[in-house]
Structure formats: structure tokens, C-alpha cells
Structure 1
Amino acid sequence: MGKLTLATAQTIISAAFEKAAALSLKPISVAVLDDGGHLIAFARQDGSSILRPQIATGKAYGALAVGTGTRWLQANAETRPHFVQALNGVSGGAIVPVPGGVLVRNAGGEVLGAVGITGDTSDHDEACAVAGIAAVGLVADCG
């Protein structure tokens, strides 16, 4: 696969919602971005709070910004807060440095985009992103 399509993004979202239901999670919101950081698709479950679109997109954008999943960003926020603060500054505050932002790679390791999920714990959000990416036969990079 050379790039993420709308149909692929919608499948990722559906599979993420299925994983959230299987885990009995709070309502989640899912953003799928292409490799340039542009939104391909977004969906939120009923009951999601008002900033969830921005948080989900910020997680996905953060993964793209550093070239790995946002678990890496969280670790650096703890050990090098000045770096993550500067990164967020140069991005105009667009990065959310907690797990739940997962890069989407093809089998050759090429970055195709990213998935950002928010709504439950960061670990659960990340698990839903991984499930969505796996459902379309691509590789998840959590960082």
C-alpha cells in the first residue's frame, strides 16, 4: 500500500471502535492523518467530550512530527521536558505527548500516516489504535 485512503481510514476507525467495545471503554474519538499530517477521517463515539477531536489529532500529529509513536514522546516529556515543550512550541501547541498516537507503517517500514485516539486511558487508546491498524494489515509503531 502506497498511501492511506479514505476507505482504509474508515476501516481503521471501525476496528478501533470494535476494540473499544470489546474492552468496555469510555467513548473514544479517532483521527487518521496521512503522512503529511492532513486529516483523512475522524469519528467520535456518542458521549465524547468537546476537546476530543483536538486531542486525537494532536496525538497523531505528534507521532508524525517525531517519526515514532507518542509513547516515545511521553518518555521524553518525563526525562527531557524542555525538548517536548520546545517541540510543542514550534508546532503551535499541536502535539499531545501521551500514548495513543501511533504511526502507520507498511511492511517495508515506510510511514503512511498516523492514528490518534483519545477517550479512555492512554494505554487503552493506544491498544485501540493498534487494533485498527492491524485490521488493515499495516504495521503499528507505538514508539
Structure 2
Amino acid sequence: MSQLTLAQASEIVDGALAHAREEGLRPLAVTVLDPGGNPLVVKREETAGILRPQIAHAKAWGCLGMGQGGAAGARHATRDPAFFAALATISEGRIASSAGGALIRDADGALLGAIGVSGERPDNDQAIAVFGVEKAGLVADVG
């Protein structure tokens, strides 16, 4: 079974942040978690809001907890807000159902971890997450 390395997680985060600067996006925070929800890399740009790392973590953690990418979680949250309010309670506030999170998979589909990005509109956060994962030669599963 594959395992996401610290070097790969760093490449994902650094690639995502570099791409965000190229695109002229707002300041971001990016986190990469292992399959157990443990942080491998967390970076917050100097002028990103103080809650951005926690939001990025919650996006990634929510993907792992639900077993699906953030886009799928956001669609489900729109259809059934009461269920996702319950999930927030059950998870003790650790889950965010929003685009900007993705599962990280290898080429064979094995789960390696998750990424969360926060600071921009959800669709931009998601695009940055996907870019970082793909730049590292891995697959971003946004749902």
C-alpha cells in the first residue's frame, strides 16, 4: 500500500500556494492530512485570516470522514442541511462541508490522505487543491 510522504505533502502545498500567487488569489491556508486525519503539512500565508488553517483542516478532515471529496460534501449539505448540522455536532466541529477539500489518491485509487484549502471562494479553493495534488503526480478526488 502506498503512503503519502512528507516530501510529497510539501510538494502539494508548495505547488498549490505558488499557483494561487500566479493566479492573484487572496491569501490562503493549505493543509494536507494523512488517512488518519493527522496533519503532515500546514501552511498559512502571512496575511491569510487567522481561522484559515482551521477551516482548511476541517475541509480535508471532512473529506476523510465522509470518504468523499469536498464538492460532493457541499452538494449533500445543500440537499440535507439538517444532516450536516448533525455531522458538525457529531464531529465536535471538525468537519466543513465545502468545496476546497479533496481526497488524495495514487494512480491505483488507493487513499493517501486529503487536502484542504481556505481563503478564496470555494470553487477557487478547490481548483488550487486539485492543482497542488496533480502537480505532485497524484489524483485529486473532489467528488
Q: Which runs of 5+ in 2 are unaligned?
A: none
CA RMSD of aligned residues (A): 1.0
Residue identity opposite 1:15 in structure 2: G
Cα deviation, 1:5-33, whole Å, max 9, x if unaligned, reads 11111100111012101211000100000
Cα deviation, 1:18-77, whole Å, max 9, x if unaligned, reads 210121100010000000100001001110111011100000000001111111111111
- Per the TM alignment, residue 110 of structure 1 is displaced from its structure 2 partner at its CA by 1.2
1:99 aligns with 2:99: yes
1:14 aligns with 2:26: no
Q: Distance in 2 between matches of 1:123 and 1:18?
A: 17
Q: How many residues align?
A: 143
Residue identity opposite 2:58 in structure 1: G
Q: Distance in 2 between matches of 1:112 and 1:80?
A: 28
Partner of 2:131: 131
Q: TM-score, normalised by structure 1?
A: 0.96
Q: Distance in 1 between matches of 2:86 and 2:135?
A: 35
Partner of 2:24: 24
Partner of 2:55: 55
Q: Which runs of 5+ in 1 are unaligned?
A: none
Q: Distance in 1 between matches of 2:6 and 2:107?
A: 20
Q: Distance in 2 between matches of 1:74 and 1:87?
A: 13
Q: Distance in 2 between matches of 1:19 and 1:77?
A: 28
| Deviation larger for 27-36 or 85-94 | 85-94
Q: Which secondary structure state, in structure 1, belongs to the residue aligned with residue 104 of structure 2?
A: strand
- Runs of 4 or more, structure 1, over 6 Å off, are none
Q: Which secondary structure state, in structure 2, belongs to the residue aligned with residue 96 of structure 1?
A: coil
Identity of aligned residues (%): 43
1:4 aligns with 2:8: no
Q: Distance in 2 between matches of 1:31 and 1:105?
A: 16
